[in-house]
Amino acid sequence: MKIKDTIDRIPGGLMLVPLLLGAVCKTFAPDAAGYFKGFTQGIMTGVIPILAIWFFCMGASIKLSSTGVVLRKSGTIVLTKFIAAGIITLIASMFLPPEGIQTGLFAGLSVLAIVCAMDMTNGGLYASLMQSYGTKEEAGAFVLTSIESGPLMSMIILGASGVAHFEPQIFIGAILPFIVGFALGNLDPKLRSLFAPGSVLLIPFFAFSLGNTIDLHTLLSPLAGLGIALALAVIVLTGIPLILADKYIGGGNGTAGLAASSTAGAAAANPVAIAAVAPQFAPAAPSATVLVAICIIVTSIVVPIITGLWFKRFGNPAEIADARADEVPTKHLNLAE
């Protein structure tokens, strides 16, 4: 059976297929992890430790000479997403009350839902897509997206100065595995050769674990239509600036920018966190949480597909292959095969 070949024909398939399988497990067998326990439970619920190891391997795969490219890509993505989300939120705040729309076709829509859906990029999804459609430097450009983690950026955008709290050690903890891997990979090329294959090998494992946090029943919520519309707005309204920034600032072909036009899984926790320190948003928090959850699901599915299509139209597979050939010899793990 040519399972791998079939997965490779699906845009972002190495990430998307395990993610959907995990979501199916979560939806129809939500107690499976607790029932089986042991190693099975670890694979189904271990998204954080798996991602930590994956980030380490990603860091180890990047040469010191690539640092400038990585930081330029990271900075371009983070700043563009932040500025785009800020402008969109500013415009929305002119029309929407803090508690959100309570009645009518757009009932449930709020500034809180918009900012939480717009301002956080799914770093794991981005980096896995770049493993298929970008260079290792582009894949490593997730490193600064950890700044977006938690409600801090959303609070800044909302103008919640004085109530937003950001602990520096949380940021350090988010990027430390990458930094340690980066250091070891550059101190010893043999360590780079040892760890670099893990940056591809671990993708289906953390994707399956991440999928086990998604309940597909969310799509059956009364807010489903509004959530899908918001998700598409996230892709369009942040994707277009990201594509332009990637092409004219980051030096790419737009693929990396489009791959960053998603909603991060952690964003689902932000509405409640923000409402806890900014009570004016408390009435909007429940519906905002549902809308953001739908955005996570929809962008996790749509972004890999359109990124793959964009790469086929505007990308340069030969250039990507040459860039990877200059790194660690991991031809047997090439997603493009």
With 90 as the cut, is the pLDDT of residue 238 above it? yes
User: pLDDT tens digit string along 44-69?
Assistant: 988 778 878 888 888 888 776 656 66
The predicted pLDDT at position 294 comes to 85
With 90 as the cut, is the pLDDT of residue 31 above it? yes
Report which of residues 337 and 276 the model is more confident about: 276
Instruction: Please indicate, yes or no, whether the overall pTM of this predicted structure exceeds 0.85.
Output: no
pLDDT confidence band for 322 (50 / 70 / 90): low
Percent of the chain with pLDDT over 70: 80
The predicted pLDDT at position 329 comes to 44
The predicted pLDDT at position 168 comes to 67
Q: Of 166-175, 195-204, 296-305, which gets the smallest average pLDDT?
A: 166-175
User: pLDDT tens digit string along 54-110?
Assistant: 888 888 887 766 566 667 777 788 889 989 998 998 888 888 887 788 777 788 888
For the range 284-288, what are the long-range contacts, defined as Cβ-Cβ under 8 Å and sequence gap of 24 or more? 284/98, 284/99, 284/100, 284/110, 284/111, 284/112, 284/113, 285/112, 287/100, 287/107, 287/108, 287/109, 287/110, 287/113, 287/223, 288/100, 288/108, 288/110, 288/112, 288/113, 288/116
With 60 as the cut, is the pLDDT of residue 318 above it? no
Indicate the burial class of 79 (C-beta count within 10 angstroms; 0-12, 13-18, 19 or more): middle
pLDDT confidence band for 316 (50 / 70 / 90): low
Over residues 203-219, the mean pLDDT reads 80
pLDDT confidence band for 164 (50 / 70 / 90): very low
Average pLDDT, the chain: 80
pLDDT confidence band for 144 (50 / 70 / 90): low
Over residues 239-268, the mean pLDDT reads 87
Beta strands (DSSP E) in the chain are none
Report which of residues 114 and 219 the model is more confident about: 114
Percent of the chain with pLDDT over 90: 22
Over residues 203-209, the mean pLDDT reads 85
With 80 as the cut, is the pLDDT of residue 147 above it? no
Residues 241, 40: Cα–Cα separation, whole Å: 41
For residues 284 and 100, the answer to whether their CB atoms sit within 8 Å is yes
With 80 as the cut, is the pLDDT of residue 5 above it? yes
